[in-house]
């Protein structure tokens, strides 16, 4: 018989968890597998490697390719200016190192890592629940709400004609959405969940132990260090909430407890040298600084914020009100502080508003779970509880199901998505360039082709990604204009690097195929040296 209360995760819980987690991960990978097995098989199109959030997926694949080629330091490949390598993409560079060892492709390694990160995140979220609650039912509620608790975006977006709702466009805010798009979001949520579990334990009454390698000290040390590499913007709210929790404990107990301060230092200090390194890069590398300053996101309006979390937020209100009134030390204080700090960071002046949303579901779903157990179940008869839960879950998860299926539909539709697919001849051209590209070589191609060039070849492009090219709109307009030039005198400026932001560059290769032909019939190819032709795609040497 399965116990209803336990201080550890039972074997029956592990079986339930693995079964549910396996089903959720399989569901998350169904569209990807469908595209590989049926969506492009037997067609003239080639799937380029990423489905959900494919633009950023191409960026991360390019980092993996760099790791396989040149080690730990990664450069900005989506802008043509020469730039030095940094440790800002070190995790994906690590995947690249694995690629070179295993001889697997960056695409395969990326998605295997995505699968592993998703499973790890699910286990970490349930472990957090088990660290907080002894009741198995409560643990499962938190787990299900954390994964499937979305808002009303699926309903309001078509009615309002707007996709501004976070549950449709902010994968960092929702674990299920995050596992669809990349590796670092589920890994960062894993680190947050594990860290939160330890922090909650540290502030339990009668816990006065100092950190060491056996009682969770080593865990917070490693999680703080991992977070600053994987997702540094998630570290700031958690660290500040930890600081505030130490201050609250000192105020309530008439002074600082040295052990609590030690725990805080074990979490923060390991990350400080890396944070200082990032600051130095931003100060002294103008290309990196210019690229980072344009990766800004706007803060959602408070109404959009509320509607984006929908039913889980409504359910959490009694738990939040109780936490404010009682401010209990066993979990409530830290989770409330963490939630408030995240919201504060989202709305503070600056350029990374939505990036700070990562991890917000953990404290929010904590209070939703507390509300169900301490408030809602007292007002719902036993025979209606299961029925309401079965009805609520599809409503909460509707946005994620919509996000899950839309890219696969676009890929398999008659019109085809030029963003996730390219004509097959481009893949052959990329393989050819892969053997010729040297460091700092620059390739000119249509914007949607240039999106994938760095991942497939390791080359830099004139314009390929709106958040990575310095002065992106200027470069994009210049690329489009080049493929439309009718006067040969206008062709050389772009090839000679007249658009350089800082360091000069020169275009080494030019691609012309169906995607470039969609832009225009340029005269600029006449003076270039044709190297190879792959079906409808031609590769030219520029200035060699």
Q: What are the pLDDT digits (tens) for 203-229?
A: 988 888 889 988 889 999 999 999 999
The residues facing 423 across adjacent strands are 45
One domain, residues 517 and 457? yes
Residue 34 belongs to some domain of the structure: no
Domain that holds residue 383: 116-405
Residue 14 belongs to some domain of the structure: no
One domain, residues 222 and 255? yes
Q: What are phi and psi of 444, to 5 degrees?
A: -105, 125
Q: Which of 359, 380, 405 is the last residue of a domain?
A: 405
One domain, residues 309 and 432? no
One domain, residues 80 and 151? no
Q: In the predicted model, is pLDDT for residue 351 greater than 80?
A: no
One domain, residues 159 and 272? yes
Residue 18 belongs to some domain of the structure: no
Q: What are the pLDDT digits (tens) for 312-349?
A: 999 999 999 999 998 888 889 999 999 999 999 999 88
Q: Which of 405, 426, 450 is the last residue of a domain?
A: 405
Among the ranges given (33-47, 134-148, 175-189, 479-493), the one the predictor scored with the smallest mean pLDDT: 33-47
One domain, residues 244 and 331? yes
The β-bridge relationship of strands 442-444 and 509-512 is parallel
Nearest to 427 by CA among 529, 524, 517, 514: 514
pLDDT band at 289 (very low <50, low <70, confident <90, very high): confident
The β-bridge relationship of strands 460-461 and 442-444 is parallel
Helices 90-102 and 184-202 sit at what angle, rounded to 10 degrees? 120
- Per-residue H/E/C for 226-241: HHHHHCHHHHHHHHHH
One domain, residues 100 and 120? no
Q: In the predicted model, is pLDDT for residue 414 greater than 60?
A: no
Give me the number of domains the chain comprises: 2
One domain, residues 492 and 377? no
Nearest to 267 by CA among 334, 343, 199: 199
Residue 188 belongs to some domain of the structure: yes
Report pLDDT for 117. Answer: 96
Report pLDDT for 462. Answer: 94
User: 538 near 523, Cβ under 8 Å?
Assistant: no
Across the chain, mean pLDDT equals 89
The residues facing 46 across adjacent strands are 422
The reply to whether the predicted model has a pTM over 0.85 is yes
Residues 6+ apart with CB under 8 A from 509: 433, 436, 441, 442, 443, 444, 459, 531, 539, 540, 541, 542
One domain, residues 272 and 363? yes
As a whole number, mean pLDDT of residues 13-23 equals 92
Residue 186 belongs to some domain of the structure: yes
One domain, residues 387 and 422? no
Residue 85 belongs to some domain of the structure: yes
- Per-residue H/E/C for 376-419: HHHHCCHHHHHHHHHHHHHHHHHHHHHHHHHHHHHHHCCCCCCC
One domain, residues 308 and 390? yes
Residue carrying the six token digits 């349930």: 126
Residue 487 belongs to some domain of the structure: yes
One domain, residues 242 and 319? yes
**What CATH number does residue 429 fall under?**
3.40.50
Q: Which of 405, 426, 451 is the last residue of a domain?
A: 405
Q: In the predicted model, is pLDDT for residue 242 greater than 90?
A: yes
Q: What are the pLDDT digits (tens) for 359-385?
A: 999 999 999 999 999 998 888 888 888
Residue 529 belongs to some domain of the structure: yes
């Amino acid at each position: 018989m399965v116990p209803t209360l336990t201080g550890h995760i039972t074997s029956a819980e592990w079986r339930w968890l693995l079964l549910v987690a396996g089903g959720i991960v399989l569901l998350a990978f169904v569209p990807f597998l469908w595209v590989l097995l049926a969506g492009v098989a037997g067609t003239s199109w080639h799937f380029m490697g990423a489905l959900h959030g494919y633009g950023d997926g191409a960026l991360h694949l390019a980092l993996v390719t760099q790791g396989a080629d040149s080690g730990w330091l990664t450069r900005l490949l989506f802008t043509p200016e020469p730039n030095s390598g940094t440790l800002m993409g070190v995790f994906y560079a690590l995947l690249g190192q694995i690629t070179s060892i295993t001889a697997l492709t960056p695409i395969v390694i990326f998605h295997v890592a995505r699968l592993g990160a998703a499973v790890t995140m699910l286990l970490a979220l349930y472990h957090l629940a088990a660290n907080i609650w002894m009741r198995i039912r409560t643990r499962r509620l938190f787990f299900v709400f954390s994964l499937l608790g979305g808002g009303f975006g699926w309903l309001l977006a078509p009615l309002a004609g707007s996709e501004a709702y976070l549950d449709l466009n902010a994968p960092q805010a929702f674990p299920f959405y995050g596992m669809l798009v990349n590796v670092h979001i589920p890994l960062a949520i894993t680190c947050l969940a594990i860290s939160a579990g330890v922090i909650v334990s540290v502030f339990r009454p009668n816990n006065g132990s100092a950190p060491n390698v056996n009682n969770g000290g080593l865990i917070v040390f490693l999680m703080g260090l991992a977070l600053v590499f994987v997702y540094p913007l998630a570290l700031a709210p958690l660290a500040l909430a930890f600081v505030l929790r130490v201050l609250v404990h000192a105020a309530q107990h008439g002074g600082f407890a040295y052990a609590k301060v030690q725990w805080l230092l074990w979490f923060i200090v390991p990350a400080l040298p890396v944070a200082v390194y990032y600051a130095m890069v931003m100060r002294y590398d103008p290309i990196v600084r210019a690229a980072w300053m344009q990766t800004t996101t706007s803060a959602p309006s408070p109404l959009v914020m509320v509607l984006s979390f929908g039913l889980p937020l409504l359910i959490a209100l009694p738990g939040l009100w109780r936490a404010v009134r009682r401010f209990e030390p066993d979990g409530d204080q830290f989770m409330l502080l963490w939630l408030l700090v995240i919201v504060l960071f989202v709305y503070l002046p600056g350029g990374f508003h939505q990036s700070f949303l990562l991890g917000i579901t953990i404290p929010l779903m904590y209070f939703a779970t507390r509300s169900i157990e301490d408030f809602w179940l007292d007002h719902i008869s036993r025979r209606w509880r299961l029925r309401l839960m079965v009805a609520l879950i599809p409503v909460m998860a509707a946005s994620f199901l919509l996000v899950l299926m839309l890219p696969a539909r676009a890929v398999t539709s008659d019109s085809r998505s030029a963003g996730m697919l390219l004509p097959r001849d481009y893949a052959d051209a990329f393989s050819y360039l892969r053997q010729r590209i040297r460091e700092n070589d620059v390739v000119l191609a249509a914007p949607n082709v240039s999106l994938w060039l760095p991942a497939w070849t390791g080359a830099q492009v004139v314009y390929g990604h709106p958040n990575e090219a310095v002065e992106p709109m200027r470069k994009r307009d210049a690329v489009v204009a080049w493929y439309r030039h009718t006067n040969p005198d206008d062709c050389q400026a772009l090839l000679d690097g007249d658009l350089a932001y800082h360091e000069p560059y020169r275009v080494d290769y030019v691609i012309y195929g169906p995607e470039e032909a969609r832009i225009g019939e340029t005269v600029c190819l006449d003076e270039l040296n044709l190297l190879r032709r792959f079906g409808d795609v031609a590769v030219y040497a520029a200035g060699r």
